[in-house]
């Protein structure tokens, strides 16, 4: 981000520096996919958050052919099913019969991002894919967003809709949401699979002390000016990211296999931006939510979890490389690691490999018998 952007450089090193706002905005220069690191300047960082909110695309020239030989979920502009949670409208897809598997998307995406996984998994399992509050076809609620909001949403979804032992599968932000939900409902969650998950290791109690008092200058002059400045800057970035060439370039920077960047994917990310509250939700995510994540760490969550864990890791991800997967496996021994030659979204880049690995793990590490009885 440029020096005029609201998010400080330190925020990038906190819990969600690897996901959300990093996902759908193209850098000034093309990324080079290396296993070790990815150099990203501050302006690039800001733009990724803008696109993740879901922006308009007009006159796209992207290819529309599905991945050959793999069934694809039908795209419905009106959505599939809806559930009311705490007064908010929540969208979800459900297909198949059998033990329950719940898919949780990443920042800026939706249930439709599991387009190549739902039909295949549904041949043996009852598959749910949910849109987190503020994303996809779910309501763009004007609430104070926090990782625990989505944890509560998933936990209640399991209790009220699924109502049986479940395996949670999450990508990016959805991965961390799956972890905290598993800890929040251990009696129902019998397994977790992570695809390039968000989250950082660290000391959850190492936050700097904050003063209990604010000066008059801080409260009545500096804070209001900061918010106005943030709104101006982020509003400009939001507008700029609407340009079709920028959005297409961003999507292609996220995927190693750019042939999977098609109109279906673009529509599933950009259509939700038509909601009148989309801009305000984006602002809240980019300011208040992003600045309140240091207290949630992977080690603190994993230390409370007891079910089997699968890591399906795209090693070519420029933001969440294989080193993180290796560290998770080292910290949490009950882990199976599958390395894939893919970027940040392996479930949509190499769906045939992800489906095969996930189905194999479900049938061995998480026996169907355990899924069918609480």
Pairing of strands 126-130, 88-95: antiparallel
pLDDT at residue number 45: 33
For the chain (length 374 residues), average pLDDT per consecutive 10? 30 36 33 34 37 32 59 95 98 97 94 97 98 95 89 98 98 96 97 95 55 49 56 58 58 73 72 72 70 74 96 92 96 97 93 97 71 46
Q: Answer for the pair 368, 84: CB distance below 8 angstroms, yes or no.
A: no
pLDDT at residue number 34: 37
d(CA 311, CA 219): 45
- Would the CA dihedral through 126, 199, 305, 354 be positive or negative? positive
pTM higher than 0.95 for the full model?
Answer: no
Q: Answer for the pair 134, 161: CB distance below 8 angstroms, yes or no.
A: no
Tokens linked to 207: 């936050």
Tokens linked to 261: 């960047």
Which of 334, 333, 338 lies closest to 358, judged by CA?
338
d(CA 172, CA 320): 9
Q: Answer for the pair 270, 57: CB distance below 8 angstroms, yes or no.
A: yes
Residue 285, classed as helix, strand or coil, is helix
Which of 106, 97, 77 lies closest to 19, judged by CA?
106
Q: Is 70 exposed, middle or buried (0-12, 13-18, 19+ CB in 10 A)?
A: middle
């Amino acid at each position: 981000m440029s020096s005029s952007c609201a998010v400080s450089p330190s925020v990038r090193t906190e819990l969600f520096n690897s996901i959300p706002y990093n996902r759908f905005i193209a850098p000034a220069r093309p990324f080079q996919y290396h296993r070790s690191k990815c150099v990203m300047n501050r302006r690039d960082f800001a733009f990724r958050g803008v696109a993740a909110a879901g922006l308009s695309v007009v006159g796209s020239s992207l290819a529309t052919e599905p991945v050959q030989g793999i069934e694809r979920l039908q795209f419905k502009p009106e959505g599939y099913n809806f559930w009311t949670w705490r007064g908010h409208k929540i969208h979800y897809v459900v297909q198949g019969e059998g033990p329950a598997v719940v898919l949780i998307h990443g920042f800026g995406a939706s249930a439709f991002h599991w387009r190549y996984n739902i039909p295949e998994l549904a041949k043996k399992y009852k598959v749910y894919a949910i849109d987190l509050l503020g994303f996809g076809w779910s309501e763009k609620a004007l609430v104070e967003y926090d990782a625990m909001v989505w944890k509560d949403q998933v936990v209640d979804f399991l209790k009220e809709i699924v109502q049986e032992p479940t395996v949670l599968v999450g990508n990016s932000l959805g991965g961390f949401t799956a972890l905290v939900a598993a800890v929040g409902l251990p009696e129902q969650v019998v397994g977790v699979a992570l695809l390039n998950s968000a989250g950082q290791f660290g000391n959850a109690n190492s936050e700097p002390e904050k003063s209990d008092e604010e000066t008059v200058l801080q409260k009545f002059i500096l804070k209001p000016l900061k918010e106005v400045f943030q709104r101006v800057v982020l509003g400009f970035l939001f507008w700029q990211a609407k340009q079709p060439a920028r959005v297409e370039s961003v999507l292609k920077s996220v995927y190693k296999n750019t042939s999977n960047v098609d109109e279906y994917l673009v529509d599933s990310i950009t259509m939700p931006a038509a909601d009148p509250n989309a801009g305000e939700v984006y602002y809240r995510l980019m300011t208040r939510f992003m600045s309140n994540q240091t207290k949630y760490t992977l080690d603190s969550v994993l230390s409370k979890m007891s079910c089997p864990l699968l890591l399906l890791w795209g090693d070519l991800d420029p933001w969440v490389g294989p080193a993180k997967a290796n560290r998770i496996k080292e910290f949490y021994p009950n882990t199976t690691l599958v390395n894939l030659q893919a970027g940040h979204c392996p479930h949509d880049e190499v769906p045939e490999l992800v489906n095969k690995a996930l189905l194999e793990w479900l049938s061995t590490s998480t026996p169907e018998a355990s899924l069918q009885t609480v």
